[in-house]
């Protein structure tokens, strides 16, 4: 379809389309039930992981996957948490391990360059430490017990050096994280969660032999299959690419621009979008605030109605509006791509508390109940990130309860 033939797409249709491409319109009907964690991630995009419940919540919302199924996929290396785009950790399918590592390779090199400049660290010192760590770690697909950072320091003796107050100010107390970052990016070691779960940040390390390869164009192809229509700015946010690199990466894809926007889409998906219709019935899902529906673009306003964007952030200072933040400060309730509510999990009461922007119906009550059961029985909590806790979350929960009680 030629660009001039593509009609202007209404916002509601764009939102519903993004949700459709993210497999968020079929969970209630069981459309994707039975898909594996790897299949979900390959089709809908890498899941951002920061020691919280986001990967579990996203996989449950899209394919009703139990935590045990996800943990088994992690143990089997069908999926794995790796430093990838922008050097940030995502849960990836095995088919994307090489590409993900290539996408994140620049970040540890940048950290080493900064340490060389400001902390008196030399590349030679860190490369020697890398070699010693590789020799100390258990190897193989089914290795011995992973070594945690304390055990690694003991195994390599005095080769891990403290970086003093200057290092602490830069969040780098020793040279160990520099070496571990380089080794992970090179596919020579991998982190293993100590209890097999993705919603925590305690790890051991084992040796690995994972190729690292993939081009910017390959990453662009993946990204626009998950996120299109998306702008070059959205793509740059996800990848961390410069403008020149991003333009070169998308050039082979032959993307077309949606009229009246800066949004790009592959031609074959443009045809599908043109024939796509907004589902007539609600399709509610409860997601983490950093779910890919939001974070692939990190453009919160596109998912919000203006009146909802003006609502206050729960538990925040007066005058701070929900739509004024780059990211949701709570978990979100979504219907056909529109954010229609906020939620958190109250561990004391073992229940989801929520503030909804739309009237409650039977389908919404059922979705909340199913997610509540999943969190209570399988996760125990729904942390937003590693440092999230019931105590730190309490002001938000109080504010959500109060807002929900206000007529």
Residues 69 and 112 in one domain: no
Residues 2 and 121 in one domain: no
Q: Per residue in 330-383, pLDDT tens?
A: 999 999 999 999 999 999 999 999 999 999 999 999 999 999 999 999 999 999
Count Cα neighbours of 191 within 13 Å in the Cβ-side half-sphere: 23
Q: Where are the beta strands (DSSP E) in 230-370?
A: 256-257, 264-265, 284-287, 331-335, 338-346, 351-356
E strands, 6-130, are 47-48, 79-83, 89-93
Contact 79, 73 (CB under 8 A): yes
pTM of the model: 0.94
Mean pLDDT of the chain: 94
Please state the rounded mean pLDDT for residues 16-24: 97
Name the burial class of residue 165, with classes exposed (0-12), middle (13-18) and buried (19+) by CB atoms within 10 angstroms of its CB. exposed
Asked whether residue 99 is domain-assigned, the answer is: no
Specify if 93 maps to a domain: no
Nearest 10 degrees: Cα torsion 111, 116, 117, 118: 80
- How big is the chain, counted in residues? 407
In a shared domain, residues 181 and 304: no
Q: What is the mean pLDDT of residues 295-320?
A: 94
Number of domains the chain contains? 2
Q: What is the mean pLDDT of residues 35-61?
A: 97
pLDDT value at residue 4: 47
Categorize the per-residue pLDDT at 108 as very low, low, confident or very high, splitting at 50, 70 and 90: very high
Segment 245-269 mean pLDDT: 97
Is residue 232 domain-resident? no
Task: Provide the pLDDT for residue 141.
Answer: 59
Query: Residue 44 falls within a domain, yes or no?
Result: yes
Confidence at 243, pLDDT banded by 50, 70, 90 = very high
- Rounded to whole angstroms, the Cα distance separating 14 from 290 reads 19
pLDDT at 144 over 80: no
Strand-strand pairing, 351-356 and 47-48 = unpaired
pLDDT tens readout for residues 60-74? 999 999 999 999 999
Tokens at 386, concatenated: 């590693």
Q: Are residues 53 and 111 in the same domain?
A: no
DSSP 8-state secondary structure symbol assigned to residue 3: G
Residue 129 lies in a domain: yes
Distance CA 169, CA 374 (A): 40
Q: What percent of the chain has pLDDT over 90?
A: 89
- Answer yes or no: do 260 and 341 share one domain: yes
Cβ contacts of 321 within 8 Å, gap of 6 or more: 309, 310, 311, 312, 313
Give 208-240 pLDDT, tens digit per residue. Answer: 999 999 999 999 999 999 999 999 999 999 999
- In angstroms, how far is CA 303 from the centroid of its own chain? 17
Peptide bond into 277 cis (omega under 30): no
Cβ atoms of 87 and 106 closer than 8 Å: yes
Residues 257 and 383 in one domain: yes
Both 272 and 196 in one domain: the answer is no
Q: Is 89 part of any domain?
A: no
CA dihedral 218, 219, 222, 224 (to 10 degrees): -110
CA distance 223 to 212: 18
Q: What is the average per-residue pLDDT within 380-388?
A: 94
| Whether residues 128 and 57 fall in one domain | no
Q: Strands 256-257, 203-207: parallel, antiparallel or unpaired by DSSP? A: unpaired
Q: Among 207, 241, 263, which residue terminates a domain?
A: 207
Residues forming a β-bridge with 334: 285, 339
- Note down the domain range covering 326: 1-77+250-402
Please identify, among 207, 237, 258, the residue that sits at the C-terminal boundary of a domain: 207
Query: Other C-beta atoms within 10 Å of 188: how many?
Result: 18
**Of 173, 191, 207, which residue sits at a domain end?**
207
pLDDT band at residue 21 using 50, 70 and 90 as cut-offs: very high
Asked if the peptide bond before residue 229 counts as cis, ω within 30 degrees of 0, the response is yes
Regarding whether 112 and 62 lie in a shared domain, the answer is no
260 and 352 inside one domain: yes
Write down the pLDDT at residue 2.
Answer: 47
**What residues contact 344, with CB distance under 8 A and at least 6 apart?**
330, 331, 352, 353, 382, 393, 396, 397, 400
| 163 and 22 assigned to the same domain | no
Residue 379: inside a domain? yes
236 found inside a domain: no
pLDDT band at 34; cut points 50, 70, 90: confident
Report pLDDT for 27. Answer: 52
Residue 191 dihedral angles phi and psi, to the nearest 5°: -85, 140
> Can you give the pLDDT at residue 44?
98
- Do 258 and 183 reside in the same domain of the chain? no
Task: With a cut of 70, say whether residue 142 has pLDDT above it.
Answer: no
Tokens of 11: 């916002």
Q: Distance (Å, rounded) from C-alpha 27 to C-alpha 283? A: 8
pLDDT band for 5, please (50, 70, 90 cuts): low
pLDDT at 143: 61
């Amino acid at each position: 379809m030629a660009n001039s033939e593509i009609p202007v797409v209404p916002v509601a249709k764009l939102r519903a389309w993004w949700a459709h491409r993210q497999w968020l319109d079929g969970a209630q009907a069981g459309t994707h039930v039975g898909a594996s964690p790897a299949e979900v991630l390959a089709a809908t995009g890498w899941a951002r992981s920061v020691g919280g419940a986001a990967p579990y919540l996203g996989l449950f919302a899209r394919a009703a996957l139990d935590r045990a199924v996800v943990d088994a996929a992690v143990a089997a290396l069908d999926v794995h948490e790796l430093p990838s785009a922008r050097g940030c950790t995502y849960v990836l399918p095995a088919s994307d391990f090489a590409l993900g590592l290539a996408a994140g390779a620049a970040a540890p090199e940048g950290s080493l360059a900064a340490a060389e400049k400001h902390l008196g660290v030399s590349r030679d010192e860190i490369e020697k430490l890398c070699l010693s760590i590789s020799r100390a770690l258990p190897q193989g697909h089914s290795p011995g017990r992973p070594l945690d950072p304390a055990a690694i320091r003991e195994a390599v003796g005095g080769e891990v050096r403290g970086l003093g107050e200057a290092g602490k100010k830069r969040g780098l107390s020793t040279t160990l994280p520099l070496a571990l970052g380089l080794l992970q990016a090179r596919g020579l070691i991998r982190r293993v969660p100590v209890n097999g779960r993705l919603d925590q940040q305690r790890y051991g390390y084992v040796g690995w032999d994972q190729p690292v390869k993939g081009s910017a164009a390959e990453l662009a192809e993946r990204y626009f299959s998950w996120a299109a229509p998306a702008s070059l700015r959205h793509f740059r946010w996800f990848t961390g690419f410069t403008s020149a690199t991003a333009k070169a990466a998308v050039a082979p894809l032959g993307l077309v621009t949606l009229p009246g926007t800066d949004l790009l889409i592959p031609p074959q998906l443009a045809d599908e979008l043109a024939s796509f219709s907004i589902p007539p019935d609600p399709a509610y899902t409860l997601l983490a605030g950093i779910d890919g529906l939001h974070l692939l673009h990190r453009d919160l306003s596109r998912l919000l109605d203006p009146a909802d964007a003006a609502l206050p952030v729960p538990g925040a200072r007066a005058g701070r509006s929900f739509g004024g933040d780059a990211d949701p400060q709570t978990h979100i309730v979504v219907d056909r791509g529109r954010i229609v509510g906020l939620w958190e999990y109250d561990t004391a009461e073992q229940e989801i508390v929520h503030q909804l922007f739309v009237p409650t119906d039977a389908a919404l009550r059922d979705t909340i109940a199913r997610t509540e059961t999943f969190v209570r029985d399988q996760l125990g909590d729904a942390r937003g990130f590693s440092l999230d806790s019931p105590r730190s979350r309490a002001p938000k929960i109080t504010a959500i309860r109060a807002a929900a009680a206000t007529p």
